[in-house]
Structures are given as structure tokens and as C-alpha cells.
Amino acid sequence: MTVPDPSLLKSDRQAYFEQATSYLLETGEAHWICKNTAIVKELLWLWKFAGQPTVNFLQSKIKVQASTCLNCAFRLHQARTAAVQDDEQSEFDNLGLANKADTRKRLATCLDEWDCERFSAILRPASSENVLAGKNLDQVLCTLIEILLRPQVLICDKHLWEGFNRVMRCLITRKEGLQISGALKLPGVYMLCAHHDQTVRDWARSQVRCMGTLDCIDEPPALEWVVDEIVNRTINGLNRLDNDQKFRQQLDEGQDYIFSDDENVLWTAVLVILRQMRPQSIKTQFSERFPGFLPTVTVSVVERSK
């Protein structure tokens, strides 16, 4: 059993992919992602060639592992993030900044499409009755965690959002409830603080309070996207959507999108997030990217306390 040679990534990537695939098959391990995250990260570049038998096989195996093992789900998220951000890939050799960005974007698009497909396959058929009965609960929970790690995926597909929304509300309102470890600091939980549904909002805010203080060093990358979405809506309301063709089309189709359009809900979500941040985090997430916004928040707090 030969461990794939990393040096091939710079000279013969096809040979590396063949070695990596053979190695994973020969190990006989049921959890490739847990044990071989670095190898899986490199193999994700093959997702650009979806439809080929070998790629389909790898996707099928990894999809099952990530939907049945929470650690695999976390590791896959790490591998995905690293693959898209990795400047050392041979695809980037002799590329300018613009071409590097385009290469990253194409890979991210392929991964988004795959994510939407596998998440929807689990959440769309998950009826409230089955969720309450605990049917396929492990698959459902692993999928929800992956989505909450990278909530941007929810805006990619209308049906995925509907399935996510239905399952989340069902889990929250069941007798056992839904508790997430505060150590996880899932960006999607912060996002749900501005959800249109009060039941989901209340749950998210209670979870955020249990997550502890956010530090710059441990802030998930997706948190910046969450902050952008909530702050932009808070500042501009739904006017922000005027120049956003995708969202406008979704609204025209009657899609029940994620965020509330209630100003009070949005302001409260901002304050909930601010309370969890250290000063340096506030400077990074708010002051530097939204000049003048914090004074506005201060005025809002004073007005609401009268």
C-alpha cells in the first residue's frame, strides 16, 4: 500500500490522483475524510470533472461518509475551504491574480453544486413525521451541521432552503429540542438570529449566548459573510436587493428567503452578534468594513432603551 507522493502535485497531478484513489481503496477504512483529510482536499479538485466514472465514485463514497459521521462532515468542510484558498496548487502556476481568482471561483462553483445536490437529497424528502420519529436522524444532523458551517450554500438553491427551514423548525420544536455545542461557533447559527421565523430566531439567539466570546483567531471565515448580509440589510433594508438580480428573481417567485425584513429583528441580530465579540473582533468585522455603522448602532441602542 503506497502513500501518495505529495511532490507529484507539482509535476504530475494525474499520477497523484491515481495513487491517492488507490491508497484510499486499499486502506479499507470507512472514514476517508477523518483519517486522510489532506488527501481528500487534493481530490476535491477532481470535482471539476464531475461525470467521469472515477470522480462519480469518489463523490459517492465521500458523500456517504460526510452524511453519517460528524467528524467527517467537519473535516470535509475544512478540506473544502483549504482547497479553494490554496495558492500552492499547480493550477495556479504562472497565473496572475485575476486568473487565480477565476480558478478558485470555478472550483467553488463545482463544490457548491455538489453540496446543494447532496444536501437536498437528504433534506427534501425528510418529512416532519420522519424527523420527529428520528428516522435517518444522523444523516439529517450531519447535513445541518455542514450547512451551518457554510450557510452561503442556502442561497444557491430554493428547494434546499425550503428543506433546511422545514427540518430546522421541526427539530427545534420537538420535545427533545436541538442543542449545539457552544464550542462549535457555527456561522449559520449567527445567521439564524435574523431568520424570518420567530421560533428559529429565539432558538438561534439562545444558542449564540452559549457559544461564548468570538476571537479574531477563531472566527470562522463564513462569519464575515453572515455579518455582511445582516449589516447590509440593516443599513439599506430591502433596497439592497434592487441591484441583486438573483434575489429579486427569487422574491418574484415567492421564495421564502432566509432573513427577516423587519427592522427590529435585523437590529436585534446585530446587537446579539456584537455582544459575543471582543473589541478586536468588532474592529475587524464592523469598524474597518462598515465605517460609521457602530455609531449608528449606539444611537439605536440608546433610542431603544428610552
Q: Average pLDDT, whole number, for the chain?
A: 80
pLDDT of residue 245: 53
Predicted confidence (pLDDT) at residue 91 exceeds the cutoff of 80: no
Predicted confidence (pLDDT) at residue 157 exceeds the cutoff of 90: no
112-125 average pLDDT score: 92
Predicted confidence (pLDDT) at residue 128 exceeds the cutoff of 80: no
pLDDT in tens, 246-296: 544 544 443 346 788 788 888 889 888 888 888 877 877 777 788 777 777
Predicted confidence (pLDDT) at residue 126 exceeds the cutoff of 70: yes
pLDDT in tens, 52-77: 888 999 999 999 999 999 999 999 99
HEC assignment per residue over the chain: CCCCCHHHHHCCHHHHHHHHHHHHHHHCCCCHHHHCHHHHHHHHHHHHHECEHHHHHHHHHHHHHHHHCHHHHHHHHHHHHHHHHCCCCHHHCCCCHHHHHHHHHHHHHHHHHHHHHHHHHHHCCCCHHHHHCCCCHHHHHHHHHHHHHCHHHHHCCHHHHHHHHHHHHHHHHCCCCCCCCHHHCCHHHHHHHHECCHHHHHHHHHHHHHCCCECHHHCCCHHHHHHHHHHHHHHHHHHHHHHCHHHHHHHHCCCCCCECCCHHHHHHHHHHHHHCECHHHHHHHHHCCCCCHHHHHHHHHHHHHC
Taking the model in full, what pTM does it have?
Answer: 0.83
Could you tell me the pLDDT band of residue 136, with boundaries at 50, 70 and 90? confident
